[in-house]
Structure 1
Amino acid sequence: MKDFRRCLERQERETNERNRRADEINELQRQVDEQVVIAVALQDEENQGRGRGSQVGRRRNVDRHRHSWGKNLLEDYFIPTSLYSDVDFRRRFRMQPHLFNKVMHDICNYDAYFVQKCDATGVLGLLQEQNLTAVI
């Protein structure tokens, strides 16, 4: 019986020792993981410090003549002496001009995406009417 008890005690000591070693290994692995995460975060922070901006080999911004397209759209449909009549407007947009203006006003109040703003280069973006006609 004593031999059996000693055997059980020895197994328990060995199990405790294995568990202690496993805990030490897990703690060391956790510390290494933390250091790796910190190193990756620092590397990302350094890379983000450099903005994309103008870089050698990058293409220039293409002027898509948005301003003239917006001017043409306003002259064609939205000014009092427009090129096309209300019938033409209804045929193209499938709604009356006053309804289009109401929808445009409500959407611009709801979502700032549709409001004309400057882009990162300082160039004015699309008109509200251009944004809404693109959606329609």
Structure 2
Amino acid sequence: MLAAAVCMLNQSRQHRRPCAPNVDRRRKSRGKNLLEDYFIPNSLYPAHKFRERYRMQPHLFQKIMHDICNYDTYFIQKHDAVGVLGLIPEQKLTAALLMLAYEASAKQMDEIARMRKSTILECLVRFCDAVENLYTREYLRKPTSRDLQRLLQKAEARGFPGMIGSIDCMHWQWKNCPTAWQGEYGNRKGKKSIILEAVASFDCWVWHAFFGVARSQNDLNVFSQSPVFDEVL
């Protein structure tokens, strides 16, 4: 995730026009509107609309924003070199989250958050870096003995003794697949995709993810290549 974001930022810098006009995006008024829409008491859109837009509950967004602002002061609102008040944290996190959740482009985020492309991509890179460093130990780990015992008990109570979760594969469409790789990453529907294998428990916690399998393969072939049971074997 972080590598892809850095690549997008580098491409933006390579194609930046040296004399591009500075557009007044009225970012202050857009930040005010964003707060009124979602982030203040009695906001325009209720909590269930926030959940639809951001793919998370408001309290989770607030926790992530608090953690990331403490980790990286880039996301904190501050004055720029000429004394103008900059973007609020909600604008920066909204741009990064919507790009990740909806595969939106930086141009689309410009209209929503009123930020230039290079700023949006920098927000995305810094957001991915912060999430990776803040939450890896808690959320990107293997299950402990305590976790396994809890999952086994829950599955047994539901009539599935010995099961810790469900394993499945899906094709992740790759719209910008390089031309040289298109033959390798074509699926049976003629589109370019990468296969993702994941194991998830009843509480939607992902315990295993194996990403990057090429060609049109079925779940069993992917299963034989993945490291999900390497330690057991």
Does structure 1 residue 102 correspond to structure 2 residue 41? no
Does structure 1 residue 93 correspond to structure 2 residue 58? no
Q: Which amino acid aligns with 1:135?
A: A
TM-score normalised per structure 1: 0.55
TM-score normalised per structure 2: 0.32
Pairing of 1:1-136 with structure 2 (within 5 A) = 61-136=22-97
Deviation track 1:14-44 (CA, whole Å, cap 9, x = no partner) reads xxxxxxxxxxxxxxxxxxxxxxxxxxxxxxx
Q: For residues 77 and 83 of structure 1, what CA distance do their matches in structure 2 show?
A: 7
Q: Which amino acid aligns with 1:94?
A: R
Q: For residues 62 and 42 of structure 2, what CA distance do their matches in structure 1 show?
A: 16
Note the C-alpha offset of 1:63. 2.1
Query: Tell me, which stretches of 5 or more residues in structure 2 are unaligned?
Result: 1-18, 98-233
Q: Which amino acid aligns with 1:84?
A: Y
Q: Which amino acid aligns with 1:125?
A: G
Note the C-alpha offset of 1:65. 0.4
Q: For residues 88 and 59 of structure 1, what CA distance do their matches in structure 2 show?
A: 37
Larger Rg: 1
Note the C-alpha offset of 1:60. 7.1
Note the C-alpha offset of 1:75. 0.2
Note the C-alpha offset of 1:59. 7.7
SS at match of 1:63: coil
Once the two structures are aligned, what percentage of the paired residues are identical?
Answer: 70
Q: Which amino acid aligns with 1:67?
A: K
The root-mean-square deviation of aligned C-alpha atoms, in Å, is 1.5
SS at match of 1:124: coil
Bigger shift: residues 117-126 or 98-107 = 117-126
Query: Tell me, which stretches of 5 or more residues in structure 1 are unaligned?
Result: 1-57
Note the C-alpha offset of 1:133. 0.6
Structure 1's consecutive aligned runs of 4 or more residues displaced over 3 angstroms after TM superposition are 58-62
Note the C-alpha offset of 1:89. 0.1
How many pairs were matched up? 79
Q: For residues 56 and 21 of structure 2, what CA distance do their matches in structure 1 show?
A: 39
Note the C-alpha offset of 1:132. 0.8
